[in-house]
Structure 1
Amino acid sequence: MADQFYAKPVAPSSASASPIPPTPASSGAPEPPQVAYAEPPRKRRWVVPVIILALVAVIVFSIASCTNALMGGSAVETSQPNTVAVIDLAGTIEYDGTSCSPEGLKYLLDQAESDPNIVAVVLRVNSGGGTATAGEEMATYVREFSKPVVVSSASINCSAAYEISSQADYIYVAQTTEIGSIGTIMQSIDYSQLLELLGVDVTNIASADSKDSSYGTRPLTEEEIAYYQDMVNQINDVFVQNVVDGRNMTEVEVRALATGLPFTGTQAIENGLADEVGTREDAIAYAAMLAGIRDDSYSTKNLQISQDSLYGLLDLLSSSSSNTSITAADLAAALKELNENDGIAQ
């Protein structure tokens, strides 16, 4: 796209910028009137850089606000005396910054630990599991927490979620809860036949023969399958040992249940993986009792990660922008000016 310029018309020799009245013609032919064109208004060349700088400042402030809220930089809301905190573990156990992640659960447990008015914690679990390492870390945080922890199981409490739950002082279930599924799985998908069917040739250049074993471009060798099986067994041993320690069971008892299959809540009570059928409210009342509160003089408080998603950032941007002098019209004018100048701010 060619650069665009405004052509400035040549002004008459007169110092006045107003139209010059026609002089009487010396000949019979009338002289065409002279017209003076008004100079195009000067563009507000400062608008674009000012708006860009202001928006950058707002974004930086908003990100700082999000981080501050997430990491507890602002004052934490004071709890009432004898409070039972409720933490939801709903979703996949993984490293995503939510309460279903090691960093998220640790942050919430630290809040409960440091608040003298919080006497116990209830984990409301509705998760089918997730990654082994995240489950192991979160189980450690629950085990090391100094105040009573009671689990309230919703529809599903399996695999890594159950590993975490096993470290609590007591586990409630519904009769129809799916719970347990003690086991570990690693998948390797072989796409080599599909690639061959599609006529795709893949060349792996690796420093060792097994470096490409997880890429799916060739079948695993027997040695590699045996190697990965041993790795899965070692990871599963950690899971089993956590259940042994958390549920005060023998290794023989736990391994007999570690088939990878889930149990109903009723079955889990019978085999020792859970304690009692009850609701969320039952779990809260029992947690208060474990903390020494023998009546109903307790309150509840939901602990959750402050909103730090894109939507939260946009909300902060919106609220922060209302305190500035930048308007939508200014932004529209700036964008229009950028467009007219081929994307170059002048």
Structure 2
Amino acid sequence: MSINNLHSLLNGRWFIHESYGHSLLPSLNNILKGNSLKIEKEDKKPESFVVQLGKSPVVASTFSNSDNNNDYVLVMDLKNPIYKYSQECGPQGTKSKINILERYKTDPYCKGIVLDIDSGGGQVAGTPEFYDYIREYTKPVVAYTDGLMCSAAYYIGSASAYIVANKRADHIGSIGTMIYFIDFTGWYEKEGAKVITEYATKSTEKNRDYEELIKGNPEPYIKNQLDPITEDFINDIKKVRSTVNEEVFTGKTYSAADSITMGLVDEIGTLQTAIDKVFELSKKSSNQNLNTDMSKQLVNVQAVLGLDAPLASTEDNGSYLNAEQLETVENRLVELDASNSALQTELDAALANTEAQEQLTASQGVVTGIEASIDGMLTSAGLDVTGTLTEKATALSAKVAEMGGKDGSNHTNPKVDVNNEAAAANVVGGVDISGAMNN
């Protein structure tokens, strides 16, 4: 194990089942004594597999879907103590597992994830973050256990959409928080070291809970450190497992059968049950997306039909109009027919008005021509009259009457000089036309 990761084992709080935690102490003791726990690469087991329908599992790191284009499920193991960071001599940390799952998000052939869990828990650090990631994952995630699914392991698995437990599973639950605190003072002194700790004058609260713990007073540490973490743990479980029995929050563990009763798991089954469930949830998710689009269209249809309530529907027949809605639509059609008749009447009237408008325009043209003629006559008569057409016509009539009353209205016989017959011959009607004739 890298010395850089040793601090993650010796520092911090744990979501861990007690017996599982005790089983890790011999390894920790060997590390402190300088004994190597290095594991050869060939002894390491792959932590994720790809399972296609009707085919054998394939190690995820060697799998390529480019040739066959078949749908598959990624099975990721959580079968070791849970750490935030990967251990050189141990399992991948939650950070590394998140990075792996991130790569499968955009693969359309990956239908979802199975978390194959056999772990008694692990560090607090990194566990809530992994929980959040699983809960918000865009593909279906199903958790499965045939061994331990305790504390941090249950915390993570609870974020799945569904939990399957093998009927022979060992322990499920252990919802709670603890600290494995080791006072190394004696060990340091045995090695010849003396530990001296001092704080600045103003640092009165710095590490106070920890110092009280060393002195044998654990209450402040429990109240200020462990209790808030446990409350978050419990609240997160309630968010995703709304039917869980309150009794499970005492930290107790349960068998697979009892876990069903307590609301910790959803079904007794095998790993294949979990894989099949992912395919099922993926199909439902696709149908839900389709139904969402159809629902939006149905809302528009309902608005057009004037319906207050949604269309009735069944899984077999789809959406349809019930008797009440059908009557509403029929009444609406009658209203629309009456409305259309009224609109047609208005349209016919508008067309009629158009013909009248054309006749009026033609009449206005005639009137304009008459008025222009009268204006011309008034000008010829030397009259300057403005006003309406009636006023102009009255003025013209008065002028005609005036001219009719003068002598020019009667026939006049001209006096002709008998001695000047030539001149007489050039006078017609009292008008001398000699000039005209010469022209």
* TM-score, normalised relative to structure 1: 0.55
Counterparts of 1:60-75 in structure 2, within 5 Å, are none
1:151 aligns with 2:143: yes
Match of 1:179 in 2: 172
Match of 1:234 in 2: 228
- In 2: Cα distance, 1:218 partner to 1:153 partner: 36
**CA deviation after TM superposition for structure 1 residue 260, in Å:** 1.8
Match of 2:215 in 1: 220
**CA deviation after TM superposition for structure 1 residue 188, in Å:** 3.2
1:142 aligns with 2:134: yes
Match of 1:120 in 2: 112
**CA deviation after TM superposition for structure 1 residue 259, in Å:** 1.8
Match of 1:84 among 73, 78, 81: 73
Contact persistence 1:119–1:148 (CA under 8 A): yes
1:168 aligns with 2:157: no
Task: From the superposition, tell whether residues 286 and 198 of structure 1 become closer, same or farther in structure 2 (CA, over 3 Å).
Answer: closer
Counterpart code for 1:291: S
2:125 match: secondary structure: helix
Match of 1:271 in 2: 262
Counterparts of 1:1-346 in structure 2, within 5 Å, are 77-78=64-65, 80-97=69-86, 100-177=92-169, 178-190=171-183, 202-207=195-200, 208=203, 219-220=214-215, 222=217, 225-249=219-243, 253-254=245-246, 256-292=247-283
2:122 match: secondary structure: coil
Contact persistence 1:119–1:291 (CA under 8 A): yes
- In 2: Cα distance, 1:75 partner to 1:268 partner: 36
Task: From the superposition, tell whether residues 214 and 124 of structure 1 become closer, same or farther in structure 2 (CA, over 3 Å).
Answer: same
- In 1: Cα distance, 2:80 partner to 2:257 partner: 23
- The number of residues matched between the two structures is 216
2:147 match: secondary structure: strand
- In 1: Cα distance, 2:70 partner to 2:262 partner: 37
Return 5+ residue gaps in structure 1 as ranges: 1-73, 294-346
**CA deviation after TM superposition for structure 1 residue 133, in Å:** 2.5
Contact persistence 1:172–1:283 (CA under 8 A): yes
Task: From the superposition, tell whether residues 195 and 174 of structure 1 become closer, same or farther in structure 2 (CA, over 3 Å).
Answer: same
- In 1: Cα distance, 2:134 partner to 2:121 partner: 16
Match of 1:26 in 2: none
**CA deviation after TM superposition for structure 1 residue 204, in Å:** 1.9
Counterpart code for 1:157: M
- In 2: Cα distance, 1:281 partner to 1:107 partner: 25
- In 2: Cα distance, 1:277 partner to 1:75 partner: 31
Task: From the superposition, tell whether residues 121 and 214 of structure 1 become closer, same or farther in structure 2 (CA, over 3 Å).
Answer: same
Contact persistence 1:94–1:134 (CA under 8 A): yes
CA RMSD of aligned residues (A): 3.3
Return 5+ residue gaps in structure 2 as ranges: 1-60, 285-439
2:156 match: secondary structure: helix
Match of 2:13 in 1: none
- In 2: Cα distance, 1:75 partner to 1:198 partner: 48
Superposed CA deviations along residues 106-161 of structure 1, whole A, max 9, x for unmatched, are 11221221111111111111111111122111111100101111111121111001
Higher relative contact order (CA 8 A, sep 6+): 1
Task: From the superposition, tell whether residues 233 and 240 of structure 1 become closer, same or farther in structure 2 (CA, over 3 Å).
Answer: same
**CA deviation after TM superposition for structure 1 residue 219, in Å:** 3.5
Contact persistence 1:190–1:216 (CA under 8 A): no
- Between Structure 1 and Structure 2, the one with more helix by share is 2
Task: From the superposition, tell whether residues 199 and 286 of structure 1 become closer, same or farther in structure 2 (CA, over 3 Å).
Answer: closer
Counterpart code for 1:269: I
Counterpart code for 1:288: F
**CA deviation after TM superposition for structure 1 residue 289, in Å:** 1.1
2:163 match: secondary structure: strand
1:96 match: secondary structure: coil
Task: From the superposition, tell whether residues 196 and 85 of structure 1 become closer, same or farther in structure 2 (CA, over 3 Å).
Answer: closer
- In 2: Cα distance, 1:218 partner to 1:191 partner: 13
* TM-score, normalised relative to structure 2: 0.44
